Structure formats: C-alpha cells, structure tokens
Amino acid sequence: MPPASRIDSRVEDVIAWFAREARDLPWRDPGCSAWGVLVSEIMLQQTPVNRVEPVWREWMSRWPTAHDLAAAPQADVLRAWGRLGYPRRAKRLKECAAVLVERHGGDVPRELDELLALPGIGEYTANAVRAFAFGERAVVLDTNVRRVIGRAWRAQPLPTAHLTRAEREHAAALVPASALEAAAWNAGSMELGALVCTARRPRCDECPLQAECAWVAAGAPGLEEAPRRTQAWHGTDRQVRGRMMALLREADAPVDLASCPQLEDVEPEQRDRCLASLVADGLVEARGGEPVTYTL
Ligand code: SF4
C-alpha cells in the first residue's frame, strides 16, 4: 500500500478528535496482547461494544492465550459466548486458536496472508489485527469508516451494499504514512462513525469534520429516502436458534427441545429446521434415544 503523500486535513481532525474522545476500551490498552485484539475483533464483528466488553473481559481472564482456548471444551466456549449472537463465531474462534497453536506456537501472526489463512478471519479482521495489534499501516474498512469517508469526502449519505475498488483505493490513499497516525486514523474514523456519524441520525454539531464535510456542504441530501437495511428479527430462524442456544446454555442436562414448553409457540417445521441447522453447524449435539435430547 503506497503511503499517503500528504495528510488530509480531515484525517488530521479525526486523529485529534480521537485523542480527546476515544473510549477507554480494554483491547485498546497498549498492554493488550495480539490475541486479545483478535478476540475483540471477532466479537465486535456483529455485536456492539457495550455488549462485547463484559464478555471480552471474562473471556480473557478465563482464556488469556490461544493455548488456553484451544484446550477448552466447546460447550464451555459456547456458554461463555452467551448472548453475543452468531455463535458460529465462538466455534470458529476456538478453531482459530487451535490453528494458532499448531502453526504459530500460539502466537498471532502479523503477516496478512498468514492471518487470512486462519479460520474465521476475513480481510477486514486481518487488517484490523495488523493495525490494532501490531501498529501496521493497513486499510481497515468497516461500515462505520465507509460511512464517514463516504459522507465527509464524497457527499454520499450511506455506503453502498458492496465495497467497490474505487472506494477501497480512495480509503487506502487517506491512510497516513506514519504507522502511529495510521493506527489513530483507523481507530478514530471507526469511533467517529460509531458515536457521531451514525447511520440515520448523524450528530454533525458534535463532529470535528462539520466545517469540511462534503455531505453537509451539499445540504445533507438523500438520507431520508435511502432504503433501510434493517433485518426482521422476531420469529426468524435466527431468533429461534438463539432461543434454543440460550436454553441449552442454561441447562445442566440434555434437553428435549422438540417438546420443550419454552418453544411451544414455534411451529414444528421451523423448530425441526432450526435444530437441524444447529446440529449441522456443529453447535449442538443430538443425543440418541427416545425422545432425542440435545446438548451443547
Ligand atoms: S459532519 Fe455529519 S455527516 Fe459529516 S462526517 Fe461529521 S457527522 Fe458525518
């Protein structure tokens, strides 16, 4: 990635804002291990910071290294994941820990190709680990960063569904040459998008970019009309799967989920489909016998 030839004043403003306003999060502590950063990035993929932080703290005190997690029983790992959602991430994290032990002596590698070869690590997470754990210059483009750049530089109300090559190149050109500033820009633009430049109600009055923001200068067009990409939740398979996982996390013996009173409102067809998918994902184990019972 070629270094930015000159730091953009908007990038400087975000870095200065982040130095003042950054939330004090444990995975931002300079003493946090690369493993701790990796765990935080996996947890934060689909879950907000306030829900992740207590789980991360408990997780790291219980399994402070990849060796510890690799040796833990999967049922304990799924229980500790609790209500973070998308529990396949917990299973993949345990698999990732096992590969770290096997290939890297339990350490997290810093090279992009080695990170991408780990289970559950995609381009975003690999770059985030490089930036936040190792201070490498990297393009860390989550939806918050895309929204800030899209608005402040290109007067675009919301990011498109898919990242384009032009967008990636523009984002890469903004990353400062110094690794320290690059890390502050990456974390700061993400924080600004999470706290101030939010999707539907940006708080432009509190934003360090207000005077320079292209979207504000254009009269803040297009946000009301932009389609909402909200996912229905109640009654979905994802919700039913979540309820089943919660029942199993709290149970101290295998559960007959097919006739469980807490799932009475779920149609048998949906119940069977959700159970089959949990078993197929390796999150739930079916015990033989009649009735069939299930456990983590
Ligand atoms: S001024 Fe408003 S729209 Fe522009 S970057 Fe800041 S919060 Fe986002």
Give the CATH number for residue 254.
Answer: 1.10.10
Ligand 1: residues with CB < 6 A are: 148, 151-152, 196-197, 202, 204, 207, 209-210, 213, 215-216
Q: How far is the CA of 271 from the centre of ligand 1 (A)?
A: 44
CB–CB of 23/187 below 8 Å?
no
Give the span between the Cα atoms of 263 and 11, in whole angstroms.
51
Q: How far is the CA of 168 from the centre of ligand 1 (A)?
A: 20
Q: Does residue 229 lie within any of the structural domains?
A: no
Give the span between the Cα atoms of 71 and 183, in whole angstroms.
33
Q: How far is the CA of 11 from the centre of ligand 1 (A)?
A: 13
Query: How high is the pLDDT of residue 235?
Result: 86
How close are the terminal C-alpha atoms of the chain, in Å? 44
Contacts of residue 228, defined as CB under 8 A and 6 or more positions apart, other chains included, come to 200
Query: How high is the pLDDT of residue 231?
Result: 67
CB–CB of 172/139 below 8 Å?
yes
261: domain range? 237-295
Q: Which helix (H) or strand (E) holds 293?
A: strand 293-295
Residue in 145, 146, 204 to alter for ligand 1 test, most ligand atoms within 8 A of Cβ: 204
Query: How high is the pLDDT of residue 19?
Result: 96
Query: How high is the pLDDT of residue 228?
Result: 72
Looking from the CA of residue 193, the nearest atom of ligand 1 is 8
The sign of the torsion formed by the CA atoms of 180, 183, 189, 194 equals negative
Q: Which of 294, 220, 216, 296 is nearest to 257 (CA)?
A: 294
Give the catalytic positions in this structure. Answer: 41
Give the span between the Cα atoms of 190 and 195, in whole angstroms.
9
Give the span between the Cα atoms of 293 and 256, in whole angstroms.
4
Give the span between the Cα atoms of 68 and 101, in whole angstroms.
10
Looking from the CA of residue 208, the nearest atom of ligand 1 is 6
Looking from the CA of residue 202, the nearest atom of ligand 1 is 7
Count of domains forming the chain = 1
Q: Does residue 84 lie within any of the structural domains?
A: no
Contacts of residue 166, defined as CB under 8 A and 6 or more positions apart, other chains included, come to none
Q: How far is the CA of 203 from the centre of ligand 1 (A)?
A: 7
Q: Does residue 265 lie within any of the structural domains?
A: yes
Q: How far is the CA of 154 from the centre of ligand 1 (A)?
A: 11
| Residue ranges in the chain modelled with pLDDT below 50 | none
Q: Does residue 143 lie within any of the structural domains?
A: no
Residue in 8, 196, 203 to alter for ligand 1 test, most ligand atoms within 8 A of Cβ: 196
Q: Does residue 129 lie within any of the structural domains?
A: no
Residue in 148, 149, 224 to alter for ligand 1 test, most ligand atoms within 8 A of Cβ: 148
Closest residue (by CA) to atom 1 of ligand 1?
A: 210
Q: Does residue 6 lie within any of the structural domains?
A: no
Q: Does residue 262 lie within any of the structural domains?
A: yes
The one-letter amino acid at 124: Y
